[in-house]
Amino acid sequence: MKNPLGVLSWRQIVVTTVALPLVISLAVLAYAWPAARLAPRDLPVGVVGTGPAARAAVDALDRSAPGAFAVHRYPDQAAARSAIEHRDVYGAFAVGPGGVTVLEATAAGPSVAQLLDASGSRLAAHAASPQGRTPAASGTADAAAAPLRTVDVVPLSAGDARGVVFSSALLPVTICSVLIALVVTMSGTVKPGGARLVGLLTGCAAAGLAVYLVAQGFLGALPHDHAATWAALALTMLAIAAPTAGLVTLVGRAGLGMGAVLMVFLGNPFSGVTSAPELLPAAAGGIGRWLPPGAGAELVRGTAYFGGSGSAAPLTVLAVWSVLGLAAVASGRPGPADTGDNLLAEGRSEARGLAAEGRSDGLNLVREGRPEGLSLVREEQGEGLSRLRRTPAAGSQERGHRP
């Protein structure tokens, strides 16, 4: 069959009309699907008290949204506050004769705090209605709802009162970490072996410091435990960059795409940084916890606002990814891309040297009045340029050869 688009090959047509739209669709789906399905799924919350009011509150939460909350019981508000500060629960409800008190932590996620506020309003309406019925069923007006009070146990920084800086920083951090892997493994400036390990470690440490200086020094979004927060940012970037660099070392240039897909198009949208892992679809939330972007967001949140509480699991995830990535970089030998780039660099250098030597020798002969000097200049320059033209082909062949 004749190609109707003569300027494009069949392969180019398939890539532009099938492969690229498919990749773009999957990328949009990866980001849009979790955001479109936000809902609480076994979200850990607390209920204060053991009396009839507390039991009624637990029943009301179960009836209003079955499976939405994993309820923990606490004897008093002090115990509930401690649980929130240690990140055992996102918030708690205290129901009593004086009304309903919602204990929350906007630092754990503004979206979760808004959800708890809405649930607290429903509990207050339920507490004020006769025999635990809703105001609509009992004919009670909304104004007759029990008093509702909200207490922010762990608030966000005043410089980031809505939490947008924290959530917005994850995507550029992920992309820049992949770029660090690109520079270290494929730019030709860092030789394979120990130099790449040093490049990854120092690059991630410096980049983590730069991110911290912007997020906290300029915007005031990471207010506590400065050194620990910087270390958490650097470790997050290393846990993204090192595996990507390891994939490039093991499988070649395709490893960069594999790393980008894993970290940017799965790790970032499944991280739950804009909401919470328990608000995402179960599969997305579960996967996100085991990938560096999600684990890094949890670790940075813990160091910046909760004194490191709840950081053991994300710290372990990041450490495992970092160690595996660094081990792959250290154990790998120069790949096809490395060898081809070296051939190109060495060939160009030698060709330029030949041209320079020929020019120098020929000019000396010209100065001495010998006409063969001009011929020597032309010959040596011609040999150098011919070798320069032949070198890219050798480098390209070496790139395509898998040892």
Same domain as 131, residue 23? no
Same domain as 324, residue 176? yes
Domain limits for position 108: 43-155
Cβ-contact 299, 232 below 8 angstroms: yes
DSSP 243: H
Final residue of a structural domain among 137, 155, 173: 155
* CA atoms within 13 A of residue 298's CA, in its CB half-sphere: 28
Using 50, 70 and 90 to split pLDDT, how confident is the model at 81? very high
The total domain count for the chain is: 4
Distance, first Cα to last Cα, the chain: 38
- The pLDDT of residue 212 is 94
DSSP assignment of 36-56, as one string? HT---SSEEEEEE-SSHHHHH
Same domain as 122, residue 55? yes
Backbone φ, ψ for residue 342 (5° rounding): -65, -40
Using 50, 70 and 90 to split pLDDT, how confident is the model at 99? confident
Q: What percent of the chain has pLDDT over 70?
A: 75
Same domain as 219, residue 361? no
Neighbour tally for 6: CB within 10 Å: 7
Return d(Cα 336, Cα 197) in angstroms, integer: 19
Same domain as 300, residue 352? no
Same domain as 341, residue 324? no
Backbone φ, ψ for residue 39 (5° rounding): -170, 150
pLDDT in tens, 227-285: 999 999 999 999 999 999 999 999 988 999 999 999 999 999 999 888 899 999 999 99
pTM for this predicted structure: 0.77
Return d(Cα 223, Cα 217) in angstroms, integer: 9
- Helix (H) or strand (E) holding 149, with range, is strand 148-152
- The pLDDT of residue 201 is 95
Q: Is the pLDDT of residue 145 over 80?
A: no
Same domain as 169, residue 27? no
**Over the chain, what is the mean pLDDT?**
81
366-375 mean pLDDT: 53
Same domain as 69, residue 6? no
Same domain as 274, residue 306? yes
Same domain as 215, residue 269? yes
Final residue of a structural domain among 331, 356, 384: 331
Same domain as 137, residue 94? yes
Nearest one of 333, 350, 342 to 387, comparing CA atoms: 350
Using 50, 70 and 90 to split pLDDT, how confident is the model at 395? very low
- The pLDDT of residue 397 is 46
Q: Looking at this protein, which amino acid is placed at residue 107?
A: A
pLDDT in tens, 15-40: 778 878 888 888 888 888 888 898 99
Same domain as 321, residue 176? yes
Nearest one of 120, 127, 129 to 148, comparing CA atoms: 120
Q: What CATH number did the domain enclosing 129 receive?
A: 3.40.1710
